[in-house]
C-alpha cells in the first residue's frame, strides 16, 4: 500500500479536456447520447481517471491499465460500474477491439508513491532495495541485472537511456565493486558509487539522476512498451478519437513527437508516383506544458510535455 505517500496529477484538467474534446460533462451527460469508451493507459493513483469519470455520461466506460499492484489496489477503491482496470502494462492496448475507443490517455511519469517509497527502489534519496520494477511481482530487478551484466552492457544502458556522458566510468565502478565486495543491493550503495564516478554535474542535479533514470527505463522496457502502445492506439481509436500523451523526459517525448509527425502526413508510394497517397492517420492538435503556477505548486511537473493528436476519419 501507499502509506502516507501522496501523488499530485500533472496537467490534470488540460489532459482530461483534451481527451474528451470538451471542457465539461454537458455533452456527455445526455442519457440518450451514444456510449463511448475511454482508456486511461497508465492509471497511477487515479487522478486523471477520477476526473474523467466525473465528466462521462451514464453509458460511457473507462478502462484503465497499470502494471503496479499498488495502483491496481488503489483502483479497486473506485466504486463506479463504468470503470474497470487491467493489471497489465499499456503494451496490451492492442487487445482491445479495433476502432472501439473514443480516447486514449498516457501519463508516462512515475507516480510519487513509487518514487517516495524506499521499498520500491526508484529513488536515490532514501536507501531501499535496488529494485525499480513497476510490477515487483514479475521480471528481473535492477540489482539482479547489475549482478551479472558486464561493463559494456551497463555502460550502453546508462548512456542510451540516461544520456549520461560518464556511463563508462560508472559501469566500470559497478563491476569493480561487484568483484571486490559483491553485488550492489541498495539504492544508497548505487548512488554513492555513481557520485564517486561522476566528475561534474549540472547545478542542483544529483549525480545519480541520469543513472537511476536509465536503469528504471531499461529494466521496465519503458521505451519499447511506449512504442507498442502508440502503434496499438492507432488500431483501437475510433475516427476522430483523441490520443493524449504526457511525457517527462526527452527520450519519451521524442518518440511521441516522431510518432505523431509520422502519422500526420499523407504517405506517397515512390514506386507508384501517380497512385493516390495513403491518407494520414492522425492530426496533431496541440503541445501543452504546465503553467508557472502548476510548476510552483508541483515542481515534479516542470519537465512535462503533453501532446495531443486526433485519429483521422479515414
pTM for the full predicted model: 0.89
Q: pLDDT class for 110, splitting at 50, 70, 90?
A: confident
Name the grid cell of 140: 528481473
Q: In this model, does residue 153 exceed pLDDT 60?
A: yes
Q: In this model, does residue 1 exceed pLDDT 50?
A: no
* pLDDT at residue 184, rounded to an integer: 97
Maximum distance among all Cα pairs of the chain, rounded to whole angstroms: 70
Quick one: average pLDDT of 70-74?
Answer: 93
- pLDDT tens per residue, range 235-251: 999 999 999 999 999 99
Quick one: average pLDDT of 256-284?
Answer: 75
Q: What does the alpha-carbon distance between residue 37 and residue 59 come to, in Å, rounded to a whole number?
A: 9
* pLDDT at residue 25, rounded to an integer: 43
Higher pLDDT, 203 or 254: 254
Domain ranges of the chain: 12-112+222-311, 135-219
Place of cell 553485488: 183
Q: pLDDT class for 28, splitting at 50, 70, 90?
A: very low
Mean pLDDT over each residue of the chain, to the nearest integer? 90
Q: pLDDT class for 314, splitting at 50, 70, 90?
A: low
Q: pLDDT class for 52, splitting at 50, 70, 90?
A: very high
- pLDDT tens per residue, range 198-232: 987 777 788 999 999 999 999 999 999 999 999 99
* pLDDT at residue 273, rounded to an integer: 60
The CATH-assigned architecture of domain 12-112+222-311 is 3-Layer(aba) Sandwich (3.40)
Q: In this model, does residue 88 exceed pLDDT 80?
A: yes
Higher pLDDT, 26 or 283: 283
Inter-residue contact 105 to 93 (CB < 8 Å): no
Residue 278 β-bridge partners: 267
- pLDDT tens per residue, range 159-189: 999 999 999 999 999 999 999 999 999 999 9
Inter-residue contact 191 to 174 (CB < 8 Å): no
% of the chain residues with pLDDT over 70: 89
Q: pLDDT class for 27, splitting at 50, 70, 90?
A: very low
Four-way CATH pick for 135-219: 1.10.150.170, 1.10.30.50, 3.40.50.10540, 1.10.3720.10: 1.10.150.170
* pLDDT at residue 22, rounded to an integer: 58
Task: List C-alpha distances in Å: 263 to 95, 268, 274, 283, 308.
Answer: 21, 12, 21, 8, 13
Amino acid at each position: 500500500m501507499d502509506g502516507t505517500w501522496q501523488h499530485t496529477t500533472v496537467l490534470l484538467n488540460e489532459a482530461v479536456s483534451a481527451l474528451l474534446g470538451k471542457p465539461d460533462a454537458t455533452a456527455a451527460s445526455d442519457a440518450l447520447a451514444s456510449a463511448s469508451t475511454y482508456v486511461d493507459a497508465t492509471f497511477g493513483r487515479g487522478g486523471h481517471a477520477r476526473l474523467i469519470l466525473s465528466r462521462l455520461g451514464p453509458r460511457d466506460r473507462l478502462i484503465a491499465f497499470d502494471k503496479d499492484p499498488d495502483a491496481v489496489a488503489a483502483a479497486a477503491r473506485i466504486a463506479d460500474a463504468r470503470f474497470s482496470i487491467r493489471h497489465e502494462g499499456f503494451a496490451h492496448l492492442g487487445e482491445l477491439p479495433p476502432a472501439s475507443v473514443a480516447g486514449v490517455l498516457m501519463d508516462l511519469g512515475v507516480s510519487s508513491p513509487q518514487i517516495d517509497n524506499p521499498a520500491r527502489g526508484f529513488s536515490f534519496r532514501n536507501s531501499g532495495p535496488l529494485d525499480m520494477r513497476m510490477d515487483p511481482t514479475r521480471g528481473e530487478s535492477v540489482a539482479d541485472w547489475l549482478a551479472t551484466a558486464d561493463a559494456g552492457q551497463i555502460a550502453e544502458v546508462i548512456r542510451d537511456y540516461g544520456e549520461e556522458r560518464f556511463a563508462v566510468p560508472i559501469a566500470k565502478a559497478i563491476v569493480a565493486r561487484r568483484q571486490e565486495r559483491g553485488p550492489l543491493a541498495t539504492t544508497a550503495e548505487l548512488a554513492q558509487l555513481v557520485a564517486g564516478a561522476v566528475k561534474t554535474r549540472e547545478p542542483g542535479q544529483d549525480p545519480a539522476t541520469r543513472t537511476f533514470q536509465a536503469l528504471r527505463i531499461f529494466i521496465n522496457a519503458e521505451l519499447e512498451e511506449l512504442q507498442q502502445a502508440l502503434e496499438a492506439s492507432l488500431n483501437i481509436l475510433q475516427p476522430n478519437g483523441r490520443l493524449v500523451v504526457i511525457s517527462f523526459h526527452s527520450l519519451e517525448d521524442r518518440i511521441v513527437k516522431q510518432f505523431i509527425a509520422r502519422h500526420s502526413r499523407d504517405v506517397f508510394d515512390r514506386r507508384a508516383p501517380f497512385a493516390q497517397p495513403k491518407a494520414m492517420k492522425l492530426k496533431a492538435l496541440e503541445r501543452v506544458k504546465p503553467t508557472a503556477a502548476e510548476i510552483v505548486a508541483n515542481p515534479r511537473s516542470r519537465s512535462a510535455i503533453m501532446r495531443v493528436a486526433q485519429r483521422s476519419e479515414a
